[in-house]
């Protein structure tokens, strides 16, 4: 098995969707091995999304990701990174497959409910950014 990192983004918390999204994650066979509610600082969000810092939507992305609390989690499953990206669906909910988390819960390409790591390497970096060793089981 391996692990991926997810964040339920501020819109998911604002809408009361934490429970429903975690239920979907469990139902798809992922085991939650770390979990917390926290809030990203502007510096955290700029670092987390540094790869996008030259993109026109960067300011909007940082504003969105810092506007309220997020729920961070580490998930374990065989083929976790790839399978979780299938479960969340395309970045743009209009293009996301039926039944995916973004199809059901995202409102737009920019306000899109959840994050999922895009590689094993980034999953480890992102998990260690949010959780100490004692907080991951
Ligand atoms: P994430 O990294 O959050 O899992 P992703 O890998 O599907 O999302 P990325 O291309 O890494 O998508 O973009 C990161 C985030 O930036 C997106 O989830 C979305 O919130 C925002 N974003 C991406 N592209 C756009 C865009 N064209 N316009 C507005 N916001 C965007």
pLDDT digits (tens, 9 = 90+) for 73-128: 999 999 999 999 999 999 999 999 999 999 999 999 999 999 999 999 999 999 99
* Ligand 1 neighbour 110 (Cβ under 6 A): yes
| Average pLDDT over every residue of 11-26 | 98
| Average pLDDT over every residue of 56-74 | 98
Pocket test for ligand 1, best of 61, 89, 126 (most atoms within 8 A of CB): 61
What secondary structure does DSSP assign to 81-135, as a single string?
HHHHHHHH--SSGGGSPTTSHHHHH--SSSS-SEEE-SSHHHHHHHHHHH--GGG
Question: Was 92 annotated as part of a binding site?
Answer: no
Q: How far is the CA of 2 from the centre of ligand 1 (A)?
A: 24
pTM of the model: 0.96
For residues 21 and 114, the answer to whether their CB atoms sit within 8 Å is yes
* Ligand 1 neighbour 115 (Cβ under 6 A): yes
Give the model's pLDDT for residue 123. 98
For residues 116 and 6, the answer to whether their CB atoms sit within 8 Å is yes
Give the model's pLDDT for residue 117. 98
CA–CA distances in Å: residue 110 to residues 19, 56, 75, 78, 115 = 22, 12, 24, 29, 11
Instruction: Say if residue 1's pLDDT is above 90.
Output: no
* Cα–Cα dist 19/25, whole Å: 10
Segment (H or E) for 37: strand 31-38
Q: Considering 3, 46, 77, 115, which one is annotated as catalytic?
A: 115
Query: Structural domain tally of the chain?
Result: 1
**Structural domain harbouring 107:** 2-135
CATH (domain of 45)? 3.30.70.141
pLDDT digits (tens, 9 = 90+) for 34-48: 999 999 999 999 999
For residues 71 and 35, the answer to whether their CB atoms sit within 8 Å is yes
């Amino acid at each position: 098995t391996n692990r991926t990192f997810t964040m339920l983004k501020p819109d998911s918390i604002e809408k009361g969707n934490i429970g429903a999204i975690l239920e979907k994650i469990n139902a798809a066979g992922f085991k939650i091995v770390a979990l917390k509610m926290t809030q990203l600082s502007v510096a955290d969000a700029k670092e987390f999304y540094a790869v996008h810092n030259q993109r026109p939507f960067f300011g909007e992305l940082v504003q969105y990701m810092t506007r309220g609390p997020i729920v961070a989690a580490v998930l374990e499953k065989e083929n976790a990174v790839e399978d979780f990206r299938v479960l969340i669906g395309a970045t743009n909910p209009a293009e996301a497959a039926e039944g995916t988390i973004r199809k059901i819960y995202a409102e737009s390409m920019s306000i899109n409910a959840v994050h999922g790591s895009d590689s094993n390497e980034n999953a480890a970096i992102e998990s260690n950014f949010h959780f100490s060793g004692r907080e991951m089981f």
